[in-house]
Structure 1
Amino acid sequence: MPHSVYIHIPFCTNKCYYCDFNSFVTQNQQLVWDYLYALEQEIILTMKQTPPDAIQTIFVGGGTPTFLSAEQMKYFLNAVRQHIPNQTDDIEFTMEANPGTTDPEKLTIMRKGGVNRLSYGVQAFDDELLRKIGRIHDSAQVFRSLHDARQAGFTNISIDLIFGLPGQSVELFKKTLNQAFDLGLQHFSAYSLKVEENTLFHVLYEKNQLILPAEEEEVAMYELVRQEMKLHGYRQYEISNFAQDGYESGHNKTYWKNEEYYGIGAGAHGYVKRSRHINAGPVQQYMQLVKQNGLPRIEEFTVSDREVMEEFMIMGLRLMEGISKREFFKRYGKLIEDVFGKQITNLEKLGLLEQVGDRVRLTEKGIPLGNEVFMRFLE
């Protein structure tokens, strides 16, 4: 049975220029309430259909979950507490947040409602750069939000940073990192900008109106973040994630270890009993399907043996510890050498993979070339 739950809150105050997530800008508070009622019904039916034996992590993503008002947040967290059974005493309960959307009242409700980890979408500390990428917060709101979070009792806080942004130099990114380290946080995620379809940035890119740093500058930013994180006591445990000891994201490790999880909410994906499902993304369609069918799924399919083994390799190799050959055999009843021996040998010859005892992992040379490595395992 899955030990993790992902819940999607799709609402946002605005749409960032780079964002292709399932998010929806609205001022209609009744629509938000109606969504929460539908979400509660999906939670009830999902747990009834496949009862969990122990829930170890819950992750609420978006959108912007902290878009919810204080009363909506209280209602939502009560539904999670009431309808998701067998939550462990040491559960990791993460909620994504945007600076400026978490006042002291809401943060207190979240903490009392069981949330014990926050992940803020900070992205940068340069106000002009934030404006260029469509963020509506400024750096002052970052500091205020983090102060309020600590006052409310949060001791496990992560922030997201993006590099390779329009007009961003290595020097400017180093300044962002220095400001981030001054915050005394437990966890960082640092991602390179990806220009995704169905975003304003993609439209500008197609018109040659999006001026991005050169590829070598982006590589230099990634190497800089890896070096600086290590110097400041944050261990890189995944390609884009860094943590103080004991503060790694347990929920995200569920994905990287290709373990099963419940996916609830508009546009959410779930993976239960070797079957993946996708929920309707548009809010109105999602709510209509919940009303009609109980579960708002628009696609459901069983993952083949070959696909699940490929996913195990691709996701597991994102972790610095790599993957376990014993775990591979335990799950799939096959030796990893019999399935992927050729790929592993070729990547070892290229200096991109190494075998250390039971584990197969990326080398220092392979870490920045992860996507090239992962592609080799796709049939």
Structure 2
Amino acid sequence: MSAVPTAAPSSLDALLRRGPYQAYSYSYPHKSAYRPLAAPRALADVWAGEDRSALFAYVHVPFCSMRCGFCNLFAMAQPHDDLVDRYVAAVVRQMQAVDEALGERRFVRLALGGGTPSYLSAAQLERLYGALSQRLGIDLEDTPSGIEVSPETVTTDRLAVCRTMGVDRVSMGVQSFSDAEVRALARPQQNATVIAAVEAIRRAGFPVLNLDLIYGIAGQTLASWASSLDSALALAPEEIYLYPLYVRERTGLGKLAIRRAADPVDDRPAMYALACDRLAAAGYVQVSMRMFRAPHAPADAGPAYSCQTDGMVGLGAGARSYTSRLHYSSHYAVERVATRDIVERFAEGDLAHFATVDYGFELDGEEQRRRFAIQSLLSQPGLVAADYRTRFGSDWADDLPQLSELAVRGLARDDGGLLALTAAGLARADTLGPWLVSDGVARRMDAGC
């Protein structure tokens, strides 16, 4: 399969000249850098010696009611009901294996992602949440918990289960409020469905609603983008995520050969700037290149969790797990046949299968330091020098001297204690992420898997 494109070794200035949209660095290293391990490892050994006092549990549901044309995630549309049932049962078995391997632990965050977790029936959702409580000991009432939904899958019974099980954040992909633009994304969707879904979510009493929007869609203009932003703001979501469109190989849009390169003008920078201004005027605070938080969003009252330092336990096919030294998962695919085969194998897994790890990426000291810097820098508040020193016993300026180039170019502010991206740096996050990828990880990603 094709990996997410990475930047060839080059100077920062050369990368900046390419334009701001090169690759989304939502994790490091990207899963396309994972490989079969030299030998399978026992799950208990992988977690031995790890700090398990503040873990994130992530459950991956790789099913959707439709496959969006832009999607390059590990997901499949319209699976057979039998496969969905067997998959849910396998995730519950996996929880048993994790329970036995982890020993004493504490989960402080929980999320169901996908795919579309709300594709599951209310009964299937209830089974998963019940097992998370009973098998893994997660306090559903007090643990901050989120779920991803799509408008057409929002139903009263599903929402009732999620709210009863302590879910406090619902994230919904709207992408655009223009009928023509959602058709261009190969995602048939009506505004009436979106509005009805938002109203149902509000009636159910979820404290946080996030809406995802996409800019750079074929046929989208600054005026139509502004209209979508205004439509989203009228719904007063607590969070808004803005995603620039990337057309990747082996996605629906990629197969149709719809490429940004065919358009002589890339309006995404102007659309991004317009969105930043409009959301700021509405009182939203920018957290990263993509995330904006409303002034009425509730404060996070849950236990502290840091993605840079705390572990993640992934459940389900495609879910990634993070320890300090090893990131692991099942294999990864984009195309339907390969995805289905991986999901089928997962659904057949027994306890012994789920008690071992055989695919992932082992992080040496350099990669651990690089990951910490990337994950810190690309969102607010930024890279805290004291946190880095506490974690690694050294200074980022010595370990990653190239970061000093950011302040010189006005992309970051460095006051000696905090390296934080400026507005110009946030706008270039999809350039800076690839720039910070190590040569070894870049080679793996470019080679595919």
Q: Is the 8 A contact 2:96 2:351 kept in 1?
A: no
**Cα deviations across residues 106-131 of structure 1 (Å, max 9, x unaligned)?**
11111112212100011111122112
- TM superposition shift of 1:60: 0.5
Structure 1 residues 344 and 291, CA gap change in structure 2 (3 angstroms)? closer
Q: Is the 8 A contact 1:328 1:334 kept in 2?
A: yes
Structure 1 residues 290 and 164, CA gap change in structure 2 (3 angstroms)? farther
Structure 1 residues 318 and 187, CA gap change in structure 2 (3 angstroms)? same
**Cα deviations across residues 139-176 of structure 1 (Å, max 9, x unaligned)?**
11111011111111212111111101111111110000
RMSD: 2.4
**Cα deviations across residues 44-88 of structure 1 (Å, max 9, x unaligned)?**
211321245321111111111111112222222212222222437
Q: Is the 8 A contact 2:140 2:166 kept in 1?
A: no
1:322-361, aligned counterparts within 5 Å? Answer: 322-340=382-400, 342-361=401-420
Structure 2 gap ranges (5+): 1-51, 333-341, 439-449
Match of 2:95 in 1: 43
Quick check: 1:163 aligned with 2:235? Answer: no
Match of 2:291 in 1: 241
Supply the distance in 2 between the matched residues of 1:4 and 1:355 (Cα, whole angstroms). Answer: 31
Q: Is the 8 A contact 1:99 1:142 kept in 2?
A: yes
**Cα deviations across residues 177-199 of structure 1 (Å, max 9, x unaligned)?**
00000001101111101112220
Percent identity for Structure 1 against Structure 2: 25
1:90-109, aligned counterparts within 5 Å? Answer: 90-109=142-161
Q: What one-letter code is carried by the residue in structure 2 that aligns with 1:364?
A: A
Q: Is the 8 A contact 1:258 1:315 kept in 2?
A: no
Match of 1:277 in 2: 328
**Cα deviations across residues 315-347 of structure 1 (Å, max 9, x unaligned)?**
21111311111110111111222212x313322
2:136 to 81, 84, 87: 84
Q: Is the 8 A contact 2:184 2:217 kept in 1?
A: no
Q: What one-letter code is carried by the residue in structure 1 that aligns with 2:317?
A: A
1:133-212, aligned counterparts within 5 Å? Answer: 133-205=185-257
Quick check: 1:260 aligned with 2:311? Answer: yes
**Cα deviations across residues 196-217 of structure 1 (Å, max 9, x unaligned)?**
22201112237x69965822x1
Supply the distance in 1 between the matched residues of 2:382 and 2:435 (Cα, whole angstroms). Answer: 16
2:378 to 303, 314, 318: 318
Which one scores higher on RCO, CA 8 angstroms, separation ≥ 6?
2
Supply the distance in 1 between the matched residues of 2:327 and 2:105 (Cα, whole angstroms). Answer: 20
Q: What one-letter code is carried by the residue in structure 1 that aligns with 2:405?
A: N
TM-score by length of 1: 0.91
TM-score by length of 2: 0.78
1:41-80, aligned counterparts within 5 Å? Answer: 41-51=93-103, 53-80=105-132
Q: After the TM superposition, which of the residue ranges 152-161 and 350-359 deviates more from structure 2?
A: 350-359
Structure 1 residues 11 and 295, CA gap change in structure 2 (3 angstroms)? farther
- TM superposition shift of 1:288: 2.8
- TM superposition shift of 1:294: 2.6
Structure 1 gap ranges (5+): none
Q: What one-letter code is carried by the residue in structure 1 that aligns with 2:311?
A: E
Q: Is the 8 A contact 1:242 1:248 kept in 2?
A: no
**Cα deviations across residues 236-294 of structure 1 (Å, max 9, x unaligned)?**
0112101125558899x967535321111111111024211012452111123346513
Supply the distance in 2 between the matched residues of 1:241 and 1:357 (Cα, whole angstroms). Answer: 26
Quick check: 1:374 aligned with 2:428? Answer: no
